[in-house]
Structure 1
Amino acid sequence: MPKSTKTPPLAPVVAGVEAQALAVRMMTMQADAGLTIAMRMPILMKGAMGDSSGQREATKAVVEKVSAVMESGVAASCAAAAFWWGLALNPLAQVDIAEASAKVVNQSLEPFSRRTRANAARLGRRR
């Protein structure tokens, strides 16, 4: 029986690439967040004792988290809306829900990823 010369569909490959990129982003964020927490704790302890630089760092941490949550919500909404609009405008297109979901998650994690990377770099060179 002759082998088929058809190429396999690329959708599973693309979804796998998106999932792998998501896993790498999550591991990098976890490492950066751990470093940031470890380097921020002594500064926050000083702030608890009345040091103004520690109190500024605590304020900065809270403001960053609130703005990251807001930006993440907007990014996730935009990515989901782009998926649904694309589906509505081209209903006959092949749709891969796994790939679309991974894209939405990647877009929603971008603000957190950017901030954790920046904080780890900033606090690492602080000394």
Structure 2
Amino acid sequence: MAISNKRLRSVTGAGVEAQALASRMMTLQADAGLTIAMRMPMLMKGALGDSRGQREAAQAVNEKVSAVMESGIAASQAAAMFWWGVALNPFGQVDFTEAAAKVANSTLEPFSKRTRANAARLGGRSRKG
């Protein structure tokens, strides 16, 4: 039995989203590990009274809080856009897999952006992407 063009586009779209999600996760994990490794000595000094380490700790907490808030908004917006699409086109083909991958991608973007910037800043390299 042949696969219809709509089904093929749906599978391709979900595959592209899943690949982008996997790529983002791998990059995020690498940058997060690098950031943690470079921050630990600074945070240890901050615990002993070093002002630079204390500033770094405060910055880390502020970044986490803002990333969580931004991530929640992005996930809500992506989910809302999906459901608006379903509501406005009730008889269209719905691809929950692609929609879930899009929501996950938009949820990770704030964290990805911050970990990439922190890894670049702490590692002393120029930021790309």
TM range (shorter): over 0.9
- The equivalent of 2:55 in structure 1 is 56
The CA deviation string for residues 22-51 of structure 1, in whole angstroms up to 9 with x for no partner, is: 000000000000000000001001101100
Shifted more, 24-33 versus 11-20: the winner is 11-20
TM-score normalised according to structure 2 size: 0.91
Q: Read off the aligned partner of 2:70 and give its amino acid letter.
A: E
- The equivalent of 1:86 in structure 2 is 85
Q: Read off the aligned partner of 1:77 and give its amino acid letter.
A: S
> RMSD over aligned Cα, in angstroms?
1.6
TM-score normalised according to structure 1 size: 0.92
Q: Read off the aligned partner of 2:9 and give its amino acid letter.
A: L
Give 1:56 deviation, angstroms.
0.3
- The equivalent of 2:113 in structure 1 is 114
Which of the two has higher C-alpha Rg?
Answer: 1
Counting matched residue pairs gives 123
Which runs of no fewer than 5 residues in structure 2 stay unpaired? Answer: none
Give 1:119 deviation, angstroms.
0.2
Q: Read off the aligned partner of 1:20 and give its amino acid letter.
A: Q
Shifted more, 94-103 versus 8-17: the winner is 8-17
- The equivalent of 1:30 in structure 2 is 29
Distance in 1, Cα, partners of 2:115 & 2:32: 6
Matching of residue 69 in structure 1 with residue 55 in structure 2: no
Q: Read off the aligned partner of 1:120 and give its amino acid letter.
A: A
Aligned identity (percent) is 73
Q: Read off the aligned partner of 1:13 and give its amino acid letter.
A: T
- The equivalent of 2:97 in structure 1 is 98
Q: Read off the aligned partner of 1:115 and give its amino acid letter.
A: R
Shifted more, 42-51 versus 7-16: the winner is 7-16
